[in-house]
Amino acid sequence: MQRSKTLIGVIAGATALLITAGITTVGAAPAVVPSGVPTTTTLPLFGVALTVDVTTGPGGTLSTVAVNPSDGLTATTLKPNRVVFENADGTGRVSVGSGHGRQSVSTRAGLLSDISGDGGWSGDVFNTGTATTVAFAIGTTTDGGPDITGVSSSDTTAVISATEYKSATDDGESYQSARANVTFSTTGQTRTLSISATVKTEEDGTTSASARVTLGRLHATALPIADAIGDKSWSGLLCDGSVATINYNVAEDGNVTFTDSAPTATDVRADEGHGIEVRFSQSERVRIRGVLSAEGITINVNEHIRCGDAASPSVNTPVSTIAEGDHHDGHHDGHHDGGTPPPTTVIGGSGSVPPTSISGARHPRG
């Protein structure tokens, strides 16, 4: 069943994702909290730019998610790491995900034309207090598949990949996809922004199209030995919102030794290889490991901050009273929540407004 587009309303905008990753600094330093510069993503849906504003808390949990325009949308999944909005007839969807150092926003509709148009991204990639911007467009290739074109960045050192295309057919079902990556680099770290569009056609002719922008987690790169050795400091947020700091030392062979921490760690142990694991609780631990190679020393920092008691995020739409499960989407998070759905928490809107604006017409299969 193909789904036609319906005008959402003229909007301009973006997706704000507040990055709360830990920071590794060159040299011991006081705790460094995230700069607060929001990440902004613009994705086209039904011919207009869709705006989603997101803030995150410790461990990357979602705190607030506001989608505009909100009329006609209902939150059908409401979890600390995932929020999904759908319109009344199921022809449009907006998904927001955060966790493991990644942030993503995606849109889904029936046709490639529903998700085509100009897009953009802006964010503080490495917590320097300055935003970097990316522009792109989602369109159609000559064979009718999705395309990513016009990718550019304000960071002249960023590496922009050629758009990669894939297609496959299996048991009467087919898909076509396009993906482009923008890789940012700074001293000792890289981070990649991925832009993708996919069209799927089922055996009965039903089509679906989706677009996604994902800011990946930080990856460590080798530093010259002279720059890598010495006193270092990691800082990040614990589940109660307090700032934790770990001071450590890197030796010339890449070995990492613990100096001290604030608050005081509940446990410090040697990790495999040249590293340490510092625990503030069973669900709040950080592994730091040095790797010596011909290129220098790579300092890998693996944060495991899992805030299991985090509250469901606040949204500016009604919340489905049926279920929390994201049963329509092929991307599951592996967990099923039971019990009574959480109450609607409204930010900048009325939770009692019924869906009226964002709707699409259903059509028989062609």
Same domain, 114 and 95: yes
Where residue 65 falls among pLDDT bands split at 50, 70, 90? confident
Same domain, 214 and 227: no
How many helices (H) and strands (E) in the chain?
1, 26
Q: Are 218 and 191 contacting, i.e. CB atoms less than 8 angstroms apart?
A: yes
270 assigned to some structural domain: yes
Rounded Cα–Cα distance for residues 48 and 115 (Å): 9
41 assigned to some structural domain: yes
Note if the pTM is more than 0.85: no
366 assigned to some structural domain: no
Same domain, 295 and 193: no
pLDDT of residue 30 exceeding 60: no
- Rounded mean pLDDT of the chain? 80
Where residue 172 falls among pLDDT bands split at 50, 70, 90? confident
Q: In sequence order, what are the residues at sequence separation of 6 or more whose Cβ sits closer than 8 angstroms to the Cβ of residue 69?
A: 8, 9, 11, 357, 358
Same domain, 136 and 252: no
Comparing CA positions, the residue from 39, 25, 223, 197 lying closest to residue 114 is: 197
Same domain, 41 and 160: yes
264 assigned to some structural domain: yes
Altogether, the residues listed in the chain come to a count of 366
pLDDT single digits (tens) 116-147: 999 999 888 888 888 899 999 999 999 999 99
Count of structural domains, the chain:
2
Top-ranked range on mean pLDDT: pick from 14-23, 140-149, 317-326:
140-149
pLDDT of residue 326 exceeding 70: no
Rounded Cα–Cα distance for residues 9 and 15 (Å): 17
pLDDT single digits (tens) 225-276: 999 999 999 998 899 999 999 999 999 999 999 999 999 999 999 877 689 9
pLDDT of residue 301 exceeding 70: yes
Strands 314-315 and 62-68: parallel
DSSP conformational letter for 362: B
Rounded Cα–Cα distance for residues 249 and 276 (Å): 11
- Per-residue pLDDT at 170: 86
Read off the tokens for 188: 């000792």
| Least-confidence region, from 30-44, 143-157, 207-221 | 30-44
330 assigned to some structural domain: no
DSSP conformational letter for 59: G
Q: Are 15 and 41 contacting, i.e. CB atoms less than 8 angstroms apart?
A: yes
Same domain, 266 and 131: no
Same domain, 111 and 241: no
Same domain, 190 and 233: no
185 assigned to some structural domain: yes
DSSP conformational letter for 72: T
332 assigned to some structural domain: no
Q: Which domain holds residue 249?
A: 223-305
Same domain, 179 and 87: yes
Same domain, 202 and 228: no
Read off the tokens for 301: 């920092």
Same domain, 200 and 252: no
Q: Which of 305, 340, 358 is the last residue of a domain?
A: 305
